[in-house]
Amino acid sequence: MKALWTSAAIASATGGEASADFPVSGVAYDSREVGPGDLFVALKGESTDGHKFVGQAYKQGAAGVLVSDPVEGPHVRVADTTAALNALGAASRARTDARIIGVTGSVGKTGTKEALWAALDRAVPGRAHRSVKSYNNHVGVPLSLSRMPADTKFGVFEMGMNHAGELDALTRLVRPHVALVTAIAPAHSAFFSGEEAIADAKGEIFRGLEPGGTAIVPFDSPHYERLRAAAEPYATTVLSFGRGKGADVRANEAVRGIAGTLVNATLPTGQLTFTIGLPGEHWVSNALAVLAAVEAAGGDLAAAGLALAEMAGLPGRGARRAVRLHNGEALIIDESYNANPASMAATIRELGQEKASRRIALLGEMRELGEGSAAYHAALADPLIAAGADPVILVGEGMTPLAESLAGRAHVEHVPDAATARERLEQMLRPGDAVLVKGSNAIGLARVVSALAGEFA
């Protein structure tokens, strides 16, 4: 297997000094994720120092380490490992001829990133690269870049932010040929004056566009004109996607069936009829964004349509898990990774489409919503009632306004933490139930899903 990096190339990219000649096949900064042949980057943070785990990294098979302190074993020593990781990411970007796509948005960015990667990889197997998990911040983005093989044909990178200015720095590192904003919603709104400010911060992604680049913006968003204006100084082409008449990539028809949603879409180059394997109106929007990006990047639209039909939910983001009970099965819809008002409402609507004996919602509070938090939580009552969700388990103090809004309208259990929520759900779960599990990641509802699946498997 061709080396991802050699110690000499790492030293050259980072300005470091290599202790020996060694190749690496991967890059990791979490010692728990180090595998045979990897380069372990020992980052120094506020609460921990990666140098403490160098020995563990070697034991797990690391071929070498990137350090700023003296160590025994194969290594490249630099002045600052965080700066060195950025430099390695920049060097990776500089050495490739790949078409690079950057993805951001308040909701849908990880799912869209995964679908876009699948759509591109379907046509050139093994030649598409993407950031894994939600590695979308000031550490995750350079790590994802540094993992990109030099002969990659398409690179897809997710970029996130919770403060203004963060995307500006990330997009200039990624230097995308195509920059995509999925949607704008009140996520991290505690750090912004309003949705307009969030749109402005997301629009920073366009500042890193390569000459001749394409910006892709959501036509149906109330912030469409604002995003388009943010893109126009940097993009040669601006493409819009959505359901509205006038969108460059739009769904003429979307019909939900047993195998998924059948969509007929119009694109600048013609029409495409395809199936989306994942349920939900939000996935129609995501799929249109994917097609716009594939077309802009010069990918294969037919292969993209096939990939969208094959898509399955990701853990924490729509994965559907059958939980075996002693006399039947229940369905867990795992949306436990994160939550904001828009994504909560969308997944609650989808719960309402499930054919089940009971529809149960286990919802954790939404974090970082600022002064509007109480109103955002209370506003979920009507979607829950419309979806026929009953009973409802609410987790965390922030859910108090929703519990009050649902009083007398559904059976509600308001509990302090994920462990108690799991106990309540175990007590009430019956065969034929469909359970939506969703909340901010810090609430820990992923552990509820894992425990239920493991316990009843």
Task: Check if the beta carbon of residue 341 is closer than 8 Å to that of residue 373.
Answer: no
Residue 453 pLDDT class (50, 70, 90 cuts) = confident
Neighbouring C-beta atoms of residue 238, cutoff 10 Å: 18
Residue 312 predicted with pLDDT over 70: yes
319-325 and 328-335 beta bridge pairing: antiparallel
**pLDDT at position 135, please?**
86
Residue 279 pLDDT class (50, 70, 90 cuts) = confident
Structure tokens at 164: 């203004």
Express each pLDDT in 47-59 by its tens digit: 889 999 999 999 9
Express each pLDDT in 173-188 by its tens digit: 999 999 999 999 766 5
Task: Check if the beta carbon of residue 100 is closer than 8 Å to that of residue 172.
Answer: no
Report the residue count for the chain.
457
Tell me the one-letter amino acid at 30.
Answer: D
Residue 205 predicted with pLDDT over 90: yes
| 15 vs 142: CA distance, rounded Å | 16
As a dihedral over the C-alpha atoms of residue 367, residue 368, residue 374, residue 380, rounded to 10 degrees, the angle is: -60
**pLDDT at position 421, please?**
96
Average of per-residue pLDDT across 181-209: 85
CB neighbour class for 75 (10 Å; exposed up to 12, middle 13-18, buried from 19): buried
| DSSP reduced 3-state for 23 | strand
Task: Check if the beta carbon of residue 356 is closer than 8 Å to that of residue 336.
Answer: no
Structure tokens at 70: 């003296």
Residue 164 predicted with pLDDT over 70: yes
Question: Dmax of the chain from CA atoms?
Answer: 70
Q: How far is CA 367 from the centre of its chain?
A: 17
Residue 456 pLDDT class (50, 70, 90 cuts) = very low
In degrees and rounded to multiples of 5, residue 67 shows phi and psi of -135, 160
Mean residue pLDDT of the chain comes to 93
Residue 33 predicted with pLDDT over 80: yes
Residue 368 predicted with pLDDT over 90: no
End-to-end alpha carbon distance in the chain: 38
pTM across the whole model: 0.82
Q: How far is CA 27 from the centre of its chain?
A: 20
Strand-pairing partners, residue 332, are 321, 435
Express each pLDDT in 68-126 by its tens digit: 999 999 999 999 999 999 999 999 999 999 999 999 998 889 999 999 999 999 999 99
* C-alpha R_g of the chain: 23
For residue 362, give every residue at least 6 positions away whose Cβ sits within 8 Å of its Cβ, in sequence order, or none: 392, 393, 395, 421, 425, 435, 436, 437, 438, 439, 445, 448
Residue 1 predicted with pLDDT over 70: no
| 445 vs 206: CA distance, rounded Å | 34
User: Which of 140-149, 313-322, 415-424 shows the lowest mean pLDDT across its residues?
Assistant: 313-322
Task: Look at residues 201, 210, 272, 203 and name the one whose alpha carbon lies nearest to residue 237.
Answer: 210
Task: Look at residues 92, 90, 31 and name the one whose alpha carbon lies nearest to residue 66.
Answer: 31
**pLDDT at position 437, please?**
96
Express each pLDDT in 375-426 by its tens digit: 999 999 999 999 999 999 999 999 999 999 999 999 999 999 999 999 999 9
237-242 and 128-130 beta bridge pairing: unpaired
Task: Look at residues 70, 76, 73, 63 and name the one whose alpha carbon lies nearest to residue 14.
Answer: 76
**pLDDT at position 147, please?**
97
Express each pLDDT in 223-272 by its tens digit: 999 999 999 999 999 999 999 999 999 999 999 877 789 999 999 999 99
Residue 457 pLDDT class (50, 70, 90 cuts) = very low
Structure tokens at 214: 């394409």
Domains delineated in the chain: 5-85 (3.40.1390.10), 96-310 (3.40.1190.10), 319-456 (3.90.190.20)
| 174 vs 99: CA distance, rounded Å | 11
Structure tokens at 322: 């059958």
- Vertex 399 angle, CA 384 and 372, to 5°: 95
Calculate what percentage of the chain has a pLDDT beyond 90.
80
**pLDDT at position 315, please?**
83
| DSSP reduced 3-state for 285 | helix
Residue 191 pLDDT class (50, 70, 90 cuts) = low
Q: Which helix (H) or strand (E) holds 331?
A: strand 328-335
Q: Which DSSP string corresponds to 33-47?
A: G--TTEEEE--B-SS
Express each pLDDT in 324-333 by its tens digit: 888 899 999 9
As a dihedral over the C-alpha atoms of residue 206, residue 207, residue 213, residue 219, rounded to 10 degrees, the angle is: 20
**pLDDT at position 140, please?**
94
Tell me the one-letter amino acid at 411.
Answer: H
| 254 vs 175: CA distance, rounded Å | 34
Tell me the one-letter amino acid at 431.
Answer: P
Structure tokens at 445: 């509802």
| 207 vs 166: CA distance, rounded Å | 12
